[in-house]
Amino acid sequence: MEKSTSDLLGVLKSKKNYSEFFQNEIGELIFKSLDEYLGVLLKEKNLKKSEVIEKSNLDKNYAYQLFNGIKKNPSRDKILMLAFGMKLTLDETRKLLKIAGLSDLYVRIPRDSVIIFCLQNGKNLIETNEMLDDYALKILE
């Protein structure tokens, strides 16, 4: 979060369309739970859960439990896999990790730097895992 609450309120007041505010300022908003943020991302990106689950290579039951708020403590790798399945930006992925109560991506950690590079360059999960493997780093699974 970079903007003060009063600055964010000023931005909101200047908008004639809430959707524009929401899309531009989503990184500044606070979400109460992982499933709430996942639901917002699905809607904003016009994604279907089934497609995201397939692209993220997560177990179907496990993934639906995440989306429905039943599963509360996913691993960092599972959240990262979901981020790739949703084609999230680096900022969206970092926010997702934060909401899930997990550690942020840190560029000085070799594995994290590969993941950051892949997120920045629109790589999918398979391409990311191939790159991780090329550098003898643990793949996302």
**Tokens (6 digits) for 113:** 């730097």
**What is the pLDDT at residue 30?**
81
Query: Residues near 59 by Cβ (< 8 Å), separated by ≥ 6?
Result: none
- Contact criterion met (CB below 8 Å) for 111 and 105: no
pLDDT along the chain (141 residues), means of 10: 86 88 81 90 93 96 94 94 96 91 96 98 97 98 94
Domains of the chain: 1-30 (no CATH), 32-134 (1.10.260)
Give pLDDT, residue 27. Answer: 76
Model pLDDT, residue 84: 98
CA distance 93 to 97: 6
pLDDT at position 25: 84
Q: What is the pLDDT of residue 1?
A: 55
Q: What is the reported pTM?
A: 0.84
pLDDT value for 26:
78
Exposed, middle or buried: residue 70 (CB in 10 Å: 0-12, 13-18, 19+)? exposed
For helices 76-85 and 60-67, angle between their N-to-C axes, nearest 10 degrees: 90
